[in-house]
Amino acid sequence: MMEKYLFVILTVAASVYAATAPAYAAQIAGYKPYGFLKTNKKARDFVVKYYAILTIFCLILLILPHFLTAVVLTFAAFFAALALKNRAKFLKSFRFTKRGTRLMITEAVIAAAEGALFFVALGDAFYAAAVALPLMSLPNLMLALLLTAPLESAVKKSFVKKTAKIIKESGAVVVGVTGSYAKSSVKSYLAKILSEKYRTYETVGNFNTPMGLSLSVKNMPQDTEIFVVEMGARKTGDIEEMCRIARPKHGVITGIAPQHLETFLSLENIMNEKGALARCVPRGGKIVSRDLDDLSVDAEVSVFNRDFFVTDVILTENGTTFTLDVGGKKLQLQTPLLGRHNAENVALAAVMALNLGVSEGQVAAAVKKLEPLPHRLSVEKRGGITVIDDSYNANPKGVRAALEVLKMFGGRKVAVTPGLVELGKKEEEENVDFGKLLAHAADVVILTGGRTSDFVEKGLMAENFKSYFRFNGLSEAEKAFFSVLKTGDVVLFSNDLPDNYD
């Protein structure tokens, strides 16, 4: 009898563990039941291999039922070894948030119920059936996602309602920030400039969803005068939802690029979605936009290169100086931020701040103190090597600016990248172009991706560039850095391949 209990515990534990890979993939895909099947090759490979091995054990039990104890011990040893081998890859990645914990508890309850059913109903056939429990971890996870969906929907609605109430009752003026890129940077710059005059609060980190907004407002000071809210979108309707919660009075649209084309399908849909922020801003509000210049809205719109300009840009290894021309009035600005694109990002924030009553002197003082966000063209020295970290995210416009910064530095120039992702049908074209640009900006290129790196390599070869290396992921490439990199090198890390991307 004890053998049966032990076997139930082992198989239920194995079932829950086997579910962590697809559960992690579902987590980063917004808890969509089929998210991992569509996007996560690592999770797919893990589950396929896991299921294959467990199937073999199931067959062993069917053929050699009298060697039960040996099989149990072997199975336990296998489970322990597999857990140790894959812990860093999957269990470390799966975030046991409150929602994630509820999901895995539900998965465990389902597996335990199945184990109990096998225990009671199958008699001697119990062992052969019970070892199949881990094979059912994926359908069990799908069932767990479906069973928890109503609860999670109710939890989200409760958080959203509470968040909207907190923001409304605070009396803070809300400024929304959206765009295909540079949202977090512009949000941060704007908050720091506004804080020269107002008590300002901003959404935490890169939180830009309703739940992220809910988490951010928990710590919003009661005396906040201006609340700068980052608004992200992966599908049509996301910005409107954020606006219903936050009710922005003003808005900044940082720029439009073919990001998330896999979900938006067309650049026109992206433009329309980002423009939703402008449509939600009431009459009397201010909109500052980099790209959208044909907005038919009630708010007053200022557009880059139409109503304000960035001129006289000087780029150095220590920062950027430029002139901001707003309606003929010129403001000289200096910032430690690197790159021409950052001059434009700062300009977007500065123009909004000026619109909201911050003086030119206050703007200039704040801009001089701005610092890059982590992994956004931040520079540091590591053992005689200059590292330019632009690994947070990359888009076709951003990589051009990053390569321009790389060119400014002396020494041998090395670029490390998996390529550009989430570009839909334009993925090959943009990555081939990226490869061509790399060929003229870098002395050495290290590719760390899959099919995106194939396209970048195609661009490198088109320019007859041969000084490049291919690795299966950044961790593998890091092992070769000691032999590839030299003292005095300048290394640009451009983009970081998302976990849910092949």
* CATH value of 378-494 in 3.90.190.20, 3.30.450.20, 3.40.50.1100, 3.40.630.40: 3.90.190.20
What is the number of alpha carbons within 13 Å of residue 162 lying toward its C-beta?
13
Which two structure tokens, joined as six digits, stand for 369?
Answer: 């103190």
Q: Which of 176, 377, 393 lies closest to 281 in space, CA to CA? A: 176
Mean pLDDT, rounded, for 197-204: 97
Which two structure tokens, joined as six digits, stand for 261?
Answer: 């084309």
Position 499 scores a pLDDT of 43
pLDDT tens for each residue of 314-350? 998 889 999 999 988 999 999 999 988 899 999 999 9
pTM recorded for the entire structure: 0.78
CATH topology of domain 171-368: UDP-N-acetylmuramoyl-L-alanine:D-glutamate ligase (3.40.1190)
234's enclosing H/E stretch is none
Mean pLDDT, rounded, for 198-227: 94
CA distance 288 to 307: 10
DSSP reduced 3-state for 228 = strand
The answer to whether residues 465 and 437 touch, using CB atoms and an 8 Å cutoff, is no
pLDDT tens for each residue of 388-398? 998 877 788 88
- Say whether pLDDT at 92 is over 70: no
Which residues on neighbouring strands pair with residue 326, listed in sequence order? 308, 329
Which two structure tokens, joined as six digits, stand for 384?
Answer: 């005689």
pLDDT tens for each residue of 35-73? 555 555 555 565 566 566 656 665 665 565 554 554 554
pLDDT tens for each residue of 424-441? 788 899 999 999 999 999
The answer to whether residues 471 and 444 touch, using CB atoms and an 8 Å cutoff, is no
What whole-number percentage of the chain has pLDDT above 90? 48
Domain ranges of the chain: 2-152, 171-368, 378-494
DSSP reduced 3-state for 488 = coil
For every residue of 278-344, DSSP letters joined together read HHHSPTT-EEEESS------SSEEEEBTTTEEEEEEEEETTEEEEEEEETTEEEEEEES--SHHHHH
- Write the single-letter amino acid at 260: H
Which residues on neighbouring strands pair with residue 444, listed in sequence order? 414
Which residues on neighbouring strands pair with residue 424, listed in sequence order? none
Strand order in the sheet with 329-335: 308-316, 319-326, 329-335
134's enclosing H/E stretch is none
